[in-house]
Chains A and B, each alone.
Chain A
């Protein structure tokens, strides 16, 4: 298993262009994505918390404003009745009756308005009705406590109003005791009662939700429930509410753990009635928003990363694939196949690269072909040079001369000739070596000159001057003899007087110069021009040997070396052979 993963890693090759591009792409993008997501998330969650808190506050404020408006309306109605009530007189009754009728038309939420004497007798009510004989209001708590404290407005929590026969509405009552200021001597106290339909409060609070299941409830200062969406469940014990906690809270928001649930309790005071409005929202519902954002963000990150990894693999492949193909084809060239022509498709740069590579391979191939050709030519000319040495004509002429000398008793001459001939051939062959010492080459030339001098019966003289230092250097063999041959056949041979051949060998500027001068007939400038021209002349004519030497030198040492001829008709010819100074 471990081995497998290792080999997989090796296969992926962490330092290949593809993986470098893919990895750096991926890491840069993932990194930036994470940073952006983190920033977004922090911003969003802070925002969400603030929004939840402020929307709770806003909603509660709104409900509070509406509630207070209703309660204030009740107080105002009560006050208006109070200021217009002028005692239990028929005139006043008509006035008040009109007032109540108008008011109830304007305020549909007002269920009942009534004025009571302290004795419990009703002075007037709107709407009127048959009084419920089963209750006596003067014995009710709200009635008694209102008279006990005639300054305060006494709000009675929601209850079923039962003062009339057959009507049992749910109301919130406002009671206010006043003392009459009629001019009668005995001012009598009276009580104004205004009932507001409880459904107004219920409607206001019922549809308020914080999050999914957060709600509002209202309690009075002693902790009695004014409104609670689950009032009945609380009474029957199916539900609990921490009302005792809320009663003692001053306005504000509190964290509160109730029945295992983390809640936020927001308390607000409702003026006029001295009630408290409590908003309950559940922390996990607020968090739900945050969690769904988390999920959304995670989804985006996953999609993004998958997309991005795909894209970077695609792009890196796109870039590295042609390079890989280039590499594999170059390997073929490396192993010796020069006939290949790359046809790599890809980006501009890669195309250019493969084009240049193609050019380079082509050039190398050309050069290699050239080298092969040169080698071949070199062999050919060397072979020709060798062939020239064993020219049968030369050989049997020489042998004839030896025989002739022998017959004439010139034994000394025979010895010289045979010795020279032997040396001549020894150097010619030189055990098949291409390069020989300069000294040997000079020896070869000397042997040749000795033989020819005998044959031409001392028609010329020769001088060999060589710097002693130069003898140990290397040269290609058989370069002097063809020049000398030329000098003899074409220069000295045509002379009437005695010819003179001088050979000088010296070094000059890291070069060895073999100089062969004769005082012969000379070469005409036009002939001179043709001699070294490769194309001109057939084989057996003038200058063939010279040309061969020149070509061999150039093949061997390069074009800057070779033969240089200076000639003047009737004065002589000098041939300079230049080769590089090559040590042993």
Chain B
């Protein structure tokens, strides 16, 4: 009897102590952050400067809201299959949400919807995706970008001028929308004459050649509007080599280092630049909201900034134009 009781008491003690230990261990795992939410940010191309700024924004949000942000992307922007695979890996890797800059409007939709089916919310940034099941889109409004280009042109050159437009890809959504924005705005100014509307297929050398030809054809050209980085650089190079800087003003888009140096040189009059940092930041922030079942705006415009020689070194613009510290 006595022995039985002793056994019972020691059993109870063991249970009690182990309960304490378990409780203690459970506590110990909290600060290691293993149960933090994981968000996968998948971009079109891992080492592109634009997406590195997206990454900075995403990581800033990760730090602010205490979530783990994993950044991924194919080595090549055209590697759509690679990006689809990355999305699938994020789904099987039990990420809580995916922030996606889709390399293709249609081809990524299936993978993204697979994630949604697994209760993983998808936030799309930079380029829209052909799916109505995503939580929200954060990026530049392409029509707005086009009209900003046109407005800047009017401001810098005046309401009476002859201009050319350098688009980058006929049929691509972003190209067509920007073109639409440019022309919608310019149509309000009857004295602005578009003498040439060109497409460079996102190729600097094509843009260069097309520009040279346009200059030759139209000696009285006042300005050229370019709707992406490659067209801006190609046009600027042509103007520079023809020593026409100042005479033919260039209104470009985005801020690659080459474009920036052309701005400093005075070849490019002004640049309309996007805000990739905010895309990354808001992408992660809305992803967290989506995880927590809070409502996320369907469409968020990260806005555009107009940069020129005089304001690019102002503190508020310096970070946008030169996002890297090293």
CB pair B278 A236 closer than 8 Å: yes
| Top 4 A-B residue pairs of the complex, sorted by shortest distance between their CB atoms | A170-B325, A235-B316, A199-B325, A199-B326
CB pair B5 A229 closer than 8 Å: no
Partner pick for A170 among B8, B12, B322, CB 8 A cutoff: B322
Q: How far is the CA of A292 from the CA of B28 in the complex (A)?
A: 11
CB pair A212 B66 closer than 8 Å: yes
Minimum distance in angstroms from B225 CB to a CB of chain A: 23
Contact A314 B8, CB 8 Å, known A157-B315, A231-B319, A292-B27: yes
Residue A225 at the chain B interface, CB threshold 8 Å = yes
Residue B147 at the chain A interface, CB threshold 8 Å = no
Q: Which of B85-93, B99-107, B246-254, B260-268 contacts A (4 or more CB under 8 A)?
A: B260-268
Chain B positions within 8 Å of A162 at CB level: 264, 313
Q: How far is the CA of A213 from the CA of B323 in the complex (A)?
A: 23
CB pair B12 A230 closer than 8 Å: no
Partner pick for A303 among B20, B265, B281, B320, CB 8 A cutoff: B20
Q: Which of B56-64, B195-203, B209-217, B227-235 contacts A (4 or more CB under 8 A)?
A: B56-64
Give the residue name and chain of the A residue nearest to B56 (CB).
Answer: A232
Most buried by B among A169, A197, A212, A225: A212
CB pair A230 B23 closer than 8 Å: no
CB pair B281 A233 closer than 8 Å: yes
A-B contact pairs, 8 of them (CB 8 A): A162-B313, A170-B322, A170-B324, A212-B66, A232-B320, A235-B319, A303-B16, A303-B20
Q: How far is the CA of A300 from the CA of B12 in the complex (A)?
A: 15
CB pair A213 B63 closer than 8 Å: yes
CB pair A230 B60 closer than 8 Å: yes
Chain B positions within 8 Å of A235 at CB level: 315-317, 319-320
Secondary structure at chain A's binding surface: helix, strand, loop or mixed?
A: mixed
Chain B: number of interface residues, binned into ranges: 35 or more
Contact A296 B23, CB 8 Å, known A170-B325, A197-B326: yes
Minimum distance in angstroms from B215 CB to a CB of chain A: 24
Residue A73 at the chain B interface, CB threshold 8 Å = no
Contact A229 B313, CB 8 Å, known A169-B326, A303-B19: no
Minimum distance in angstroms from A90 CB to a CB of chain B: 32
Per-residue contact bits, chain A 148-167, to B (CB 8 Å; 1 contact, 0 not): 00000000010110100010
Partner pick for B57 among A232, A307, A345, CB 8 A cutoff: A232
CB pair B23 A229 closer than 8 Å: no
CB pair B325 A202 closer than 8 Å: yes
Chain A positions within 8 Å of B257 at CB level: 168
Q: Which residues of A contact B (CB under 8 A)?
A: 132, 134, 157, 159-160, 162, 166, 168-170, 197-199, 202, 209, 212-213, 215, 224-225, 229-233, 235-236, 238, 292, 296, 299-300, 303-304, 307, 310-311, 314, 318, 345
Contact A170 B266, CB 8 Å, known A236-B278, A311-B12: no
Q: How far is the CA of A209 from the CA of B8 in the complex (A)?
A: 49
Minimum distance in angstroms from B240 CB to a CB of chain A: 13
CB pair A229 B278 closer than 8 Å: no
Residue B191 at the chain A interface, CB threshold 8 Å = no
Q: How far is the CA of A170 from the CA of B9 in the complex (A)?
A: 69
CB pair A160 B313 closer than 8 Å: yes
Residue B1 at the chain A interface, CB threshold 8 Å = yes
CB pair A345 B1 closer than 8 Å: yes
Q: How far is the CA of A66 from the CA of B315 in the complex (A)?
A: 25
Minimum distance in angstroms from B266 CB to a CB of chain A: 7
Q: Known pairs A232-B323, A296-B23, A300-B23; list 17 more (Cβ under 8 Å).
A: A162-B264, A162-B313, A166-B261, A170-B324, A197-B325, A213-B63, A213-B64, A224-B315, A231-B319, A232-B277, A232-B320, A235-B320, A238-B281, A296-B27, A304-B16, A310-B12, A311-B12
Chain A positions within 8 Å of B189 at CB level: none
Minimum distance in angstroms from A564 CB to a CB of chain B: 60
Chain B positions within 8 Å of A296 at CB level: 23-24, 27
